[in-house]
Amino acid sequence: MDIASHKGLLYRAGTVGLLGLILAVCAPKAGAQGAAPETAPPLFPGGALVSYNSVFVTRGMFVAPPGSIPNAARPTFSHEGLFNFTWGFHPDFDLTVLVPVATNRFDLAPPTTSPTVGGTGLGDITLLVKYRFYRRDSERGTTQASLTFGPKLPTGSTSLATANGALLPASLQPGSGSTDFFVAANWTYTGLFNIRRLVADEDFHSLLCSQGTQKTRLGSDIESRFWLSYRPYESKNVAREWFIGPALTWLHMQNGRIAGITQNGSGGGVFLAGITSYAGLRPGLHVWVGADWGVAHSSGAMFMPVRRHVSFGITQQFRLHL
């Protein structure tokens, strides 16, 4: 893919945005590459974008005593609306602000008949800096690599309660109450096997968690997502494109800690497989949809692996001169 061409560069710059879906909260999710087919390139200088990503995650259940909610419980179903603003201020740097609104729901497995609990609230805001440290252009295409890092701030709601007023566990709250640190390494290789429209993209990231609300330290997580995409359609002026391809994700979460006590069996690993597609509708505007399903996972006593992950979103790019 010749993204060094003028028109191609402008379009690619308009499609760089979200880096992952797990940035907003410390609880692990099946992440996606976000609002761009290529995750390594930063936004071009003077460019900006706004993006919205809607994410639905379903997890496995486990049996617990009637009327009780385990302290390490994760939402059996969650929806997150993630608002993104990104500004490119240097050829190799950009800034991103992520603002999530999360809805969490928890159901106990049969035969337990406890009512569903949960609610909606503002999640933790994340501030990120991306630095592209490597770029190489060739006849085959372009190879790029970048680092992204920044804090997740304790701005989210931590006051969700049951019908009788009991506070829900920290793992079911939209916010964590902790200041955490996100770090990622991204690599994009265009023209794989000398096929101009074939792109390999790797996103490897981790969220390092500290102690937050209710003296709870949610388990830090590591995620690796590999996406192999092909463009079956591209207009002559690169105004409209379509990317589609399979994605493989590995996610590992450490055990959480409550009041200094390790919650053995609350962490674990999961492997997911799925498919993701992006469509450029016009220069600077595109939409995407993706779905992943759990293939294999570890079997911790309190571990709730991701069973299904579905996301869709839209991005609008514009110029912002400051």
CA–CA gap between residue 258 and residue 132 (Å, rounded)? 38
In contact, 276 and 244? CB cutoff 8 Å: yes
User: According to the model, what pLDDT value does residue 67 have?
Assistant: 62
Q: Tokens for 42?
A: 């930063």
In contact, 241 and 279? CB cutoff 8 Å: yes
Query: C-alpha distances in angstroms, 307 versus 59, 100, 118, 262, 274?
Result: 5, 22, 19, 25, 12
Place of tokens 């995409």: 229
User: According to the model, what pLDDT value does residue 181 have?
Assistant: 97
Query: C-alpha distances in angstroms, 152 versus 123, 157, 211?
Result: 10, 14, 13
Helices and strands (DSSP H and E) totals, the chain? 1, 16
User: Which of 255, 249, 271, 257 lies closest to 303, judged by CA?
Assistant: 255
Q: Which CATH superfamily is domain 6-315 in?
A: monomeric porin ompg (2.40.160.40)
Q: Structural domain boundaries of the chain?
A: 6-315
User: According to the model, what pLDDT value does residue 146 have?
Assistant: 97
User: According to the model, what pLDDT value does residue 29 have?
Assistant: 45
Q: Tokens for 314?
A: 């839209």
CA–CA gap between residue 245 and residue 123 (Å, rounded)? 31
Helices of type H across 95-211: none
User: Which of 114, 110, 49 lies closest to 83, judged by CA?
Assistant: 49
User: Which of 86, 82, 102, 210 lies closest to 148, judged by CA?
Assistant: 86
User: According to the model, what pLDDT value does residue 36 have?
Assistant: 66
Consecutive 10-residue runs of the chain (322 residues): their mean pLDDT?
A: 37 36 36 66 91 93 69 90 94 95 86 76 97 93 96 95 88 94 96 91 95 91 94 84 94 89 88 94 90 91 89 91 69
